[in-house]
């Protein structure tokens, strides 16, 4: 460990829980979550009703809301990727519907890229390329029909620009598509972003051409337009994605100007605005790379829970990268805060100017459809007293309640000032606690989560997450191999002979709450407590529920050697043998103590049996009181 890191560790431990404490919890973060109206429409689609989705798209066409139309078409195509039945029915009933045909065109291109994957060309197999080009060929007549059915719509030409990139279209073809797009909407962000990709060095342009295109578009854009984010997207392509930027370097001043332009653009949008989430995710990554920690934390606050696939997919799994880098920013700021000072919050971003965009819902608008408050519960395959003994040093306060014989419910009890270990945990605190109290234990624990329309689970064994799953109505259906692996792990942990019913419950996203509850029942576990998912601290009303207050390390070690585990105590059942040994020992030690004090002048010899008698008497008294209560 470097000396600087060693010196900053006390500051990190002291301030880590307070820096960024107002950020949403990790478990609330979503990737590419739709806004409120589209979330409702997607839920209706999975229930068999395409009416809300059709009405949303028709509204964007009638009001010429091309940016929103582009977003909605992409989300509907993603929903149709693994369950296209509703789209096929729509096209069968209305083959000339411009909205349905547009979704089909986007779906065709989406299917092609799904097969090709996002890997570099050298890493794509020949058979993947063959299927990719075949599907792109199928998309041509559909995209042409979409453009014909709604001649003023720029979105078919955005799809055409993406198609040109994949089909290796010539510059003449690209220029023709670009001319059609800007003729319909000169400042359409989606078309510009698609063109930027074509002009990047990894495809058919160069770093210089990409930056020149982005900067021209930004300079001609209206104040508050998302086109001001194009240089920022170019900067990410150059700094993060390109193989070796040194081969065709771009001036540092252009990178810095792109970041400054992105910061200024962010002030035009309310915190949590879904329309700003795309460029804000790019912005915060560039701020991290520039080690501008305080500004990065403010942008994380503005993003809220709305992570996006890109740019994080360039680094790894998007949600994991977002959460871990956000935690890293907090720790960097904590390590730079003087040890005996209180970390302050940077000034809030200025309010959006009166001329800023007003099309997107604000953060406080109920129609914005923000994710529901995340809630979690653990079902542990051990009685309450064993869970309490194992959880003494997990660093958080827990409520533990008996379930069926041999099993327990566990929930997190919020602490006004979380402990340092809780603040430094990368996972949500209940999952981290379950990892702690299952370490070294033979019994497993199942963490169940509910956050808005998303339901999930994690299996913890011996301190390690061995399986995880999430039901999300707007995400693709889990493939059979992944669901089967999760089902096998769950079946092995809870001694279920046949894992096939579990696979059926894991696959599919309809009725996620029912699927989660049915999975718990199929594992032979106790049912979920009433109110879980809609209420906080549902174990308060469960008979026998007890609070295990957070302890420091030293107190945890001390209490692990004691019979009193609680605040109040978690009752520990005592066997008959336990009572017989202590009563018998007391029957021997009390007369021995009396005899020693009466006959020997050596106080030391008399003290030992006396202290042993008092220790046994205290154990019996505590156990009798717990049994009586």
Q: What is the pLDDT of residues 187-244, one digit of tens each?
A: 999 999 999 999 998 888 889 999 999 999 999 988 889 999 999 999 999 888 876 6
| Per-position DSSP letters for 211-265, written without gaps between them | HHHHHHHHHTSPTT-GGGGHHHHHHHIIIIISS-GGGS---HHHHHHHHHHHHHH
Task: Please report, rounded to a whole number, the percentage of residues in the chain having pLDDT higher than 70.
Answer: 79
pLDDT for residue 6 is more than 60: no
Closest Cα to residue 143, out of 92, 182, 191, 104?
Answer: 104
* Adjacent-strand bridge partners of 449: 376, 456
Q: Which residues on adjacent β-strands are paired with residue 399?
A: 411, 547
pLDDT tens digits, 564-573: 444 444 555 6
How deeply is 518 buried, as exposed, middle or buried, from its count of CB atoms within 10 A (0-12, 13-18, 19+)? middle
User: How many residues can be counted in the chain?
Assistant: 629
Question: Residue 382 pLDDT more than 50?
Answer: yes
Is the pLDDT at 92 greater than 50? The verdict is: yes
Q: What's the pTM value of the predicted model, to 2 decimals? A: 0.64
Answer whether 437's CB lies under 8 Å from 387's CB: yes
Q: Does the pLDDT value for residue 33 go beyond 70?
A: yes
Cα-to-chain-centroid distance, residue 621: 48
Cβ distance 451 to 510 under 8 Å? no
For every residue of 121-187, DSSP letters joined together read GGGS-HHHHHHHHHHHHHHHHHHHHHHHHSTT-SHHHHHHHHHHHHTT--HHHHHHHHHHHHHH-TT
Give me the pLDDT at residue 183, please. Answer: 93
For residue 409, pLDDT beyond 80: yes
**Lookup result for tokens 């073809």:** 173
What φ, ψ does residue 232 adopt, rounded to 5°?
-65, -45
Arithmetic mean of pLDDT, 45-65 = 88
pLDDT at residue 247 in the model: 66
Q: How far is CA 294 from the centre of its chain?
A: 22
Mean pLDDT of 157-172: 89
Cβ neighbours, 10 Å, residue 94: 13
């Amino acid at each position: 460990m470097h000396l600087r890191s060693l010196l900053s560790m006390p500051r990190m431990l002291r301030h880590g829980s307070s820096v960024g404490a107002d950020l949403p919890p990790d478990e609330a973060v979503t990737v590419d979550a739709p806004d409120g109206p589209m979330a409702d429409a997607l839920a209706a689609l999975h229930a068999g009703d395409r009416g809300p989705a059709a009405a949303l798209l028709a509204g964007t066409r009638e009001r010429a809301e091309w940016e929103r139309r582009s977003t909605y078409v992409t989300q509907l195509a993603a929903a149709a990727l693994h369950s296209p039945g509703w789209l096929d029915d729509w096209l069968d009933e209305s083959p000339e519907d411009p909205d349905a045909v547009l979704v089909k065109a986007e779906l065709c291109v989406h299917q092609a890229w799904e097969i090709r994957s996002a890997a570099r060309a050298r890493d794509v197999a020949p058979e993947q390329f063959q299927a990719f080009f075949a599907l792109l060929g199928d998309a041509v007549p559909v995209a042409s029909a979409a453009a014909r059915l709604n001649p003023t719509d720029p979105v078919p030409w955005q799809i055409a620009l993406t198609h040109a990139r994949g089909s290796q279209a010539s510059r003449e073809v690209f220029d023709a598509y670009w001319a059609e797009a800007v003729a319909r909407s000169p400042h359409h962000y989606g078309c510009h972003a698609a063109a930027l990709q074509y002009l990047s060095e990894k495809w058919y342009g160069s770093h210089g051409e990409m930056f020149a295109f982005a900067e021209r578009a930004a300079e001609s854009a209206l104040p508050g337009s998302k086109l001001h984010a194009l240089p920022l997207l170019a900067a990410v392509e150059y700094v993060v994605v390109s193989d070796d930027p040194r081969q065709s370097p771009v001036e540092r001043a252009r990178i810095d100007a792109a970041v400054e332009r992105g910061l200024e653009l962010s002030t035009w949008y309310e915190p949590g605005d879904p329309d700003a989430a795309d460029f804000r995710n790019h912005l915060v990554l560039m701020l991290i790379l520039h080690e501008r920690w305080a500004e990065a934390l403010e942008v994380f606050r503005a993003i809220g829970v709305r992570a996006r696939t890109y740019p994080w997919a360039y680094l790894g799994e998007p949600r994991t990268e977002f959460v871990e880098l956000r935690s890293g920013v907090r720790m960097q700021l904590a390590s730079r805060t003087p040890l005996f000072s209180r970390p302050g919050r940077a000034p809030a971003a200025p309010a959006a100017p009166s001329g800023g965009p007003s099309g997107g819902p604000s953060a406080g608008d109920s129609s914005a459809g923000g994710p529901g408050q995340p809630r979690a519960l653990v079902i542990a395959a051990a009685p309450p007293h064993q869970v309490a003994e194992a959880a003494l040093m997990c660093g958080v306060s827990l409520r533990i309640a008996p379930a069926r014989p041999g099993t327990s419910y566990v929930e997190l009890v919020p602490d006004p000032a979380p402990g340092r270990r809780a603040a430094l945990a990368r996972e949500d605190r209940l999952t981290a606690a379950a990892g702690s109290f299952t370490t070294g234990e033979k019994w497993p624990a199942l963490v169940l989560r509910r956050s808005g329309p998303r339901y999930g689970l994690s299996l913890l064994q011996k301190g390690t997450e061995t399986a995880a799953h999430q039901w999300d109505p707007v995400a693709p259906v889990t493939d059979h191999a992944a669901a089967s692996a999760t089902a096998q792990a769950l079946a092995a942990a809870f001694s279920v002979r046949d894992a096939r019913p579990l696979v059926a419950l894991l696959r599919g996203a309809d009725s996620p709450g029912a699927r989660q509850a049915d999975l718990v029942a199929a594992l032979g576990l106790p049912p979920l407590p009433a109110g879980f998912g809609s209420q906080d601290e549902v174990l308060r009303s469960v008979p026998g529920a007890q609070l295990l207050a957070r302890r420091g390390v030293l107190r945890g070690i001390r209490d692990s050697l004691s019979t009193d585990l609680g605040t109040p105590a978690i009752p520990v059942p005592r066997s008959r043998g336990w009572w017989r040994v202590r009563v018998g020992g007391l029957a021997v030690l009390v007369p021995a103590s009396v005899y020693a004090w009466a006959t020997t002048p050596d106080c030391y010899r008399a003290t030992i049996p006396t202290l042993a008698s008092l220790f046994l008497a205290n154990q019996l008294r505590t156990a009798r009181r717990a049994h009586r209560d």
